[in-house]
Amino acid sequence: MCWLVLFTFTQTSLFYKTIIFLLTDNHGRKINYLRLAVTDRCNLRCFYCMPEEGLNWLSRSALMTYEEMLQSCALLVKMGIEKIRITGGEPFVRKDIMKLLTALSELPGLKELTLTTNGVLTAPHVAELKRIGVSSVNLSLDTLDANRFFAITKRDEFGNVMKTLDELLKHDIEVKVNAVVMDGKNTQDIIPLVELTKDLPVSVRFIEEMPFNGDGHVYAGLKWDYVRILDEIKAHYPAIKKLDDAQYSTSYNYQLPGHKGSVGIIAAYSRTFCGTCNRIRITPEGELKTCLYDNGVMNIKDLLRQGINEDDLKERLLNTFNNRVKDGWEAEHQRAESQGVHESMATIGG
């Protein structure tokens, strides 16, 4: 549903009208957050995301153009989207990504522009990100050990990622460090990553591993869920305190006494936050996903290339939002009989 709320009031004999669009789904959940994946390509080969040899990358013609992305985002912002996060793959491997970011930052009505990056190519762009108003960056970093970083990513890029972290902090951009917790791979890094919050104003967020690995390995099920991760932290920091979670937060958030930063835990596989999910996704090839675990519900790129007009596209979008699955378990169940969950996170956008 799309509700149009109209407030009117008088002041100094003038008549004012404020129009606010509230976009909701069939379960009454507000939709105001878009995650836009600009590419499926990545310059790392993280164990939990794709096989070491990479993926069958999309051709240029299969990708949405920047013009199509901007057109889609402009319409969605008109409809009520307030926040856009740029993801990948790795956004900075796509040529001229800053041009798209700059154009998005100028969209009337967009309140927040953020991005997720692995940090390998990001450092030289941080000053420009600050200038155009990027308010927050999620930095993927699963370990603070250079050798384990190489073992997980198959690339010797730890130094460049840490340089990006330094640049983001230097330019006062909010930083969330995202670490996927993998049994037998980096559980020994949980406490060192927590320690990062002692002297740095960062949020370190531990994420449950998910089955989106591009068939690089057989997903054996979740061994480190959000409860076990928290227990591990509590064993070392019994004074840890629960914080109030922001509206629509996907993470359970905590503060350690005397630490500048905070700690979060995202139950991405347990899916405890579906009831307040406010986000939709568009993949690099234009597939709209109203749930991370669904198989895509409509292809915006194809509709644009067929010449659909804005009103008809808006109607299609509203109809799709009004038939949204209840949660990630329902979405996974609907696709399980046909193919299950096998794609890489790089083709989804996180």
46-56: pLDDT as tens digits? 877 766 665 66
CA distance 175 to 140: 10
Instruction: Return the SS3 of 24.
Output: strand
DSSP state letter for 59 = P
| List of E strands, 145-278 | 174-181, 203-208, 241-242, 251-255, 262-266
Please give the average per-residue pLDDT across 20-27, as a whole number. Answer: 84
Q: Which residues pair with 3 in a beta bridge?
A: 22
Look at residue 266 and tell me whether its pLDDT is greater than 80: yes
The whole-number pLDDT of residue 82 equals: 97
Q: Which residue has the higher pLDDT, 213 or 66?
A: 66
Look at residue 345 and tell me whether its pLDDT is greater than 90: no
In sign, the C-alpha dihedral spanning 294, 350, 266, 255 is negative
Q: What is the residue extent of each domain of the chain?
A: 2-347
The whole-number pLDDT of residue 118 equals: 97
Please give the average per-residue pLDDT across 147-153, as a whole number. Answer: 96
The whole-number pLDDT of residue 248 equals: 85
Helix (H) or strand (E) run with residue 34 in it: strand 33-37
Res. 28 pLDDT band, cuts 50 70 90: very high
Look at residue 87 and tell me whether its pLDDT is greater than 50: yes
Amino acid residing at 34: L
At CA 143, angle to CA 141 and CA 201, rounded to 5?
60
Q: Which residue has the higher pLDDT, 276 or 141?
A: 141
Look at residue 37 and tell me whether its pLDDT is greater than 60: yes
The whole-number pLDDT of residue 53 equals: 64
Look at residue 3 and tell me whether its pLDDT is greater than 60: no
Give which of 75, 3, 22 is closest to 312, Cα–Cα: 75
Q: Hey, which CATH number is domain 2-347, 3.30.56.10, 3.20.20.70, 3.40.190.10, 3.90.550.10?
A: 3.20.20.70
What average pLDDT does the structure give for the chain? 88
Look at residue 342 and tell me whether its pLDDT is greater than 70: no
| Cis status of the peptide bond prior to 328, with omega within 30 of 0 | no
Supply the pTM of this predicted model: 0.87
Contact 157, 147 (CB under 8 A): no
Please give the average per-residue pLDDT across 267-275, as a whole number. Answer: 82
Give which of 330, 315, 326 is closest to 1, Cα–Cα: 315
Q: Burial code of 194-228, b = ≥16 C-beta within 10 A, e = fewer?
A: bbbbeebebbbbbbbbbbbbbebeebeebebbbeb
Joined together, the tokens standing for residue 132 give: 């155009």
CA distance 253 to 262: 7
Look at residue 215 and tell me whether its pLDDT is greater than 70: no
Please give the average per-residue pLDDT across 295-305, as a whole number. Answer: 95
Contact 114, 105 (CB under 8 A): no
Q: Which residue has the higher pLDDT, 31 or 326?
A: 31
Res. 212 pLDDT band, cuts 50 70 90: low
CA distance 286 to 150: 32
The whole-number pLDDT of residue 262 equals: 98
**By percentage, how much of the chain surpasses pLDDT 90?**
71
Q: Which residue has the higher pLDDT, 115 or 275?
A: 115
